[in-house]
């Protein structure tokens, strides 16, 4: 099983969620985050004084999936979140050691 | 002795005008908070900037030329302070009117009372175009609206002049006590013209016909704003009695306060019930719009209805506003705060309710008056919005809209904490 973590632009969240639903991904966790990659931030003026806005608002999506769904998941997120402009984000894939459904106690692929 | 009583009347009526004007000024805070609460956090700074700036632009433009267009008299208010003959002139007017006649008050207080109404009309537009209009395009429009468009229709109504020399609304039985049509419908009409040219927010209406709800970021502010508007409205309607200093006038003022309050209450409860019935939940934002709808509906005639009638008129406004908000969405007219429904739909309702309790007005007069205001403001506004669209553009870019107009127009976030 894999944990797919994607950092995307906030207004792309709905598109990403729909795309994941379509390929059968049933659960998702969303966090509001701030960050930058090569997009960097920009300088603003507050009452005449400069201050740097380094961190840009993004949304972090986390989905736990069975191995056989990995390629489709990556494709779905990439297509949905892509705008072609800088700051589109990144996807990270990590191995999941164990997954448990709290309500029923199911483990492994049954819990994903 | 009589002279001293006249002086006291003058002072009291002037004071009353000033206090009511200050209450209406406070409505600007109400609009600012209401709108700030109903937009998303990334667009909050910009709408606040719009609100403080439009109020100031309105005050300046009305001072420069608006007041002159509306009521005649000198441009830039020259001479309004009164000069050496102020007291003698005032007393002479008072003698003419007598104790029970029309009120005589300071010219400066008249301007002060009138200018805050202009700002109110202009403020209605800011909510409807929220989250996607360029700030400076809006302020440019405000210059023309407050300096010319509103004052001209004001001159045909409260100013008593003939409409382009053709007909006089007062003679036709048109009556609009505190401005359901003159202020609220006018503001909503300017907003409608703008929104049509501006287009809806990105993602609001999808191709398959579904409508996306875009929740406001701060409902406590929206509620506070509504209560502030409610309070300010006592000045809006109360001051429009124009006189306090005799028993009949004082009583009229009291009835106006009473009815204004009753209409707001009726509007809120009605809207809350309609929302519960239509959507299954007690939608606070509809309730807030309902209170304002009730207030707009009673504004054309708050002195002649009974308390029960005022409550029911307000309730009609509350029902109408919910239906109007849903209806405008179906027509793909995106109005983030419901301004066009509250002030436009209920402004028309307010005008039409007048003849029910006021024999001096006629339905024909109300309809002609309403249409005159609507057509003039719509056409004039549409032309100005179109010119602005062609010259500097009305709408921010798609990226700017996604990022939030706070950053693109103001360079400031309203809620900047987290990593700072």
Among A44, A54, A81, A87, pick the best mutation site for testing chain B contact (most B Cβ within 10 A).
Answer: A44
Distance between CA B191 and CA B333 in Å, rounded? 11
User: Which residue from A11, A14, A34 is facing B419, i.e. has the nearest CB?
Assistant: A34
Among B41, B401, B411, B417, pick the best mutation site for testing chain A contact (most A Cβ within 10 A).
Answer: B411
Is the CB of residue B262 less than 8 Å from the CB of residue B295?
Answer: no
* C-alpha distance from A107 to closest chain B C-alpha (Å): 36
Q: Higher pLDDT residue, B116 or A47?
A: B116
Residue A36: closest CA among A86, A2, A109, A75: A86
Beta-strand relationship, A42-46 and A29-35: unpaired
Please report, for residues B197, B198, B301, B385, B405, the alpha-carbon distance to residue B390 in angstroms, rounded to integers and kept in the order given: 11, 12, 41, 9, 21
Q: Which residues of B touch A54 (CB under 8 A)?
A: 419
Mark A84-108 as b/e (b = at least 16 C-beta within 10 Å): eeebbbeeeeeebeebeeeeeeeee
Mean pLDDT, residues B84-96: 87
- How sure is the predictor about B149, in pLDDT bands with cuts at 50, 70 and 90? very high
Distance between CA B346 and CA B295 in Å, rounded? 9
pLDDT at B417 over 70: no
Residue A78: closest CA among A65, A88, A67, A64: A88
Please report, for residues B123, B381, B407, the alpha-carbon distance to residue B400 in angstroms, rounded to integers and kept in the order given: 23, 25, 8
Whole-angstrom Cα Rg for chain A: 17
Q: Which residues of A touch B407 (CB under 8 A)?
A: 44
* C-alpha distance from A55 to closest chain B C-alpha (Å): 8
Helix pair angle (B2-38, B107-128), 10° resolution? 10
Beta-carbon separation of A11 and B418 below 8 A: no
Distance between CA B358 and CA B360 in Å, rounded? 6
3-state secondary structure of B309: helix
Span B279-291, pLDDT tens digits: 998 999 999 999 9
Q: Higher pLDDT residue, B58 or B95?
A: B58
Beta-carbon separation of B402 and A11 below 8 A: yes
User: Which residue from B399, B402, B419 is facing A55, i.e. has the nearest CB?
Assistant: B419
Contacts of B237 (CB under 8 A, 6+ apart): B177, B178, B256, B257, B259, B260, B298, B299, B302
> pLDDT at position B61, please?
97
Is the CB of residue B269 less than 8 Å from the CB of residue B315?
Answer: yes
Please report, for residues B27, B79, B240, B377, the alpha-carbon distance to residue B14 in angstroms, rounded to integers and kept in the order given: 20, 17, 13, 31
Mean pLDDT, residues A11-19: 94
Total number of residues shown for chain B: 420
Among B46, B204, B399, B414, pick the best mutation site for testing chain A contact (most A Cβ within 10 A).
Answer: B399
Helix pair angle (B86-97, B2-38), 10° resolution? 100
Total number of residues shown for chain A: 112
User: Which residue from B203, B402, B411 is facing A44, i.e. has the nearest CB?
Assistant: B411
Any bridge partners for residue A95, and if so which? Answer: A2
Whole-angstrom Cα Rg for chain B: 21
User: Which residue from A14, A44, A54 is facing B412, i.e. has the nearest CB?
Assistant: A44
Mean pLDDT, residues B329-352: 96
Span B5-55, pLDDT tens digits: 999 999 999 999 999 999 999 999 999 999 999 999 999 999 999 999 999
pLDDT at A44 over 80: no
Mean pLDDT, residues B110-130: 96
Span B209-254, pLDDT tens digits: 888 888 899 999 999 999 999 999 999 999 999 999 999 999 999 9
Count CB-CB contacts under 10 A for residue B215: 9
Distance between CA B342 and CA B120 in Å, rounded? 13
**Does residue A102 sit at the B interface (CB-CB below 8 Å)?**
no
Span B99-110, pLDDT tens digits: 888 888 999 999
Using CA atoms in the order B365, B367, B372, B375, what is the torsion angle rounded to 10 degrees? Answer: 180
Beta-carbon separation of B411 and A34 below 8 A: no
Q: Give one word for B419, left, alpha or beta, with left for phi > 0 and alpha for psi -120 to 50.
A: left
């Amino acid at each position: 099983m894999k944990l797919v973590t994607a950092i995307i632009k906030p207004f792309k969240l709905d598109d990403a969620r729909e795309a994941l639903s379509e390929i059968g991904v049933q659960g998702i966790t969303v966090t509001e985050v701030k960050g930058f990659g090569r997009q960097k931030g920009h300088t603003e003026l507050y009452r005449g004084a400069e201050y740097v806005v380094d961190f840009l608002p993004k949304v972090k999506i986390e989905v736990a999936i069975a191995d056989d769904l990995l390629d489709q998941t990556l494709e779905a997120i990439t297509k949905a979140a892509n705008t072609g402009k800088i700051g589109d984000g990144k996807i990270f894939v990590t191995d999941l050691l164990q997954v448990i459904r709290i309500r029923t106690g199911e483990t492994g692929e049954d819990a994903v | 002795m009589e002279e001293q009583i006249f002086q006291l009347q003058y002072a009291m009526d002037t004071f009353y005008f000033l206090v009511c004007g200050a209450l209406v000024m406070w409505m600007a805070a109400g609009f600012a908070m209401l709108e700030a609460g109903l937009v998303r956090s990334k667009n909050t700074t910009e709408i606040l900037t719009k609100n403080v700036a439009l109020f100031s632009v309105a005050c300046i433009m009305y001072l420069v030329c608006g007041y002159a267009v509306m009521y005649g008299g000198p441009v830039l208010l020259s001479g309004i302070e009164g000069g050496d003959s102020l007291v003698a002139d005032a007393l002479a007017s008072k003698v003419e009117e007598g104790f029970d006649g029309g009120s005589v008050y300071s010219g400066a207080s008249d301007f002060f009372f009138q200018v805050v109404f202009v700002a109110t009309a202009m403020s209605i537009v800011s909510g409807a175009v929220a989250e996607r209009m360029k700030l400076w395009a809006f302020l440019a429009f405000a210059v023309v609206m407050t300096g010319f468009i509103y004052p001209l229709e004001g001159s045909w109504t409260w100013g008593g002049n003939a409409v382009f020399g053709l007909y006089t609304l007062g003679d036709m039985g048109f009556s609009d006590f505190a401005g359901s049509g003159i202020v609220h419908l006018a503001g909503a009409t300017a907003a409608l013209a703008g929104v049509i040219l501006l287009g809806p927010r990105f993602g609001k209406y999808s191709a398959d016909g579904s409508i996306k709800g875009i929740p406001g970021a701060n409902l406590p502010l929206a509620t506070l704003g509504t209560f502030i508007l409610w309070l300010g409205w006592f000045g809006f309607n109360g001051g429009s009695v124009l006189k306090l200093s005799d028993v009949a006038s004082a009583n009229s003022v009291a009835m106006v306060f009473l009815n204004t309050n009753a209409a707001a209450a009726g509007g809120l409860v009605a809207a809350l019930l309609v929302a519960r019935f239509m959507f299954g939940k007690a939608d606070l934002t509809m309730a807030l719009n309902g209170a304002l709808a009730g207030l707009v509906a009673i504004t054309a005639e708050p002195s002649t209805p009974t308390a029960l009638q005022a409550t029911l008129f307000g309730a009609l406004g509350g029902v109408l506003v919910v239906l109007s908000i849903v209806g405008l969405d179906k027509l793909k007219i995106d109005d983030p705060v419901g301004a066009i429904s509250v002030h436009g739909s209920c402004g028309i309702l307010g005008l039409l309710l007048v003849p029910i309790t006021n024999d001096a007005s006629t339905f024909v007069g109300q309809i002609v008056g309403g249409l005159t205001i609507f057509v003039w403001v719509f056409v004039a506004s549409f032309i100005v919005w179109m010119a602005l669209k062609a010259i500097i553009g009305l709408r921010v870019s798609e990226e700017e809209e996604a990022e939030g107009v706070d950053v693109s127009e103001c360079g400031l976030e309203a809620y900047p904490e987290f990593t700072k």
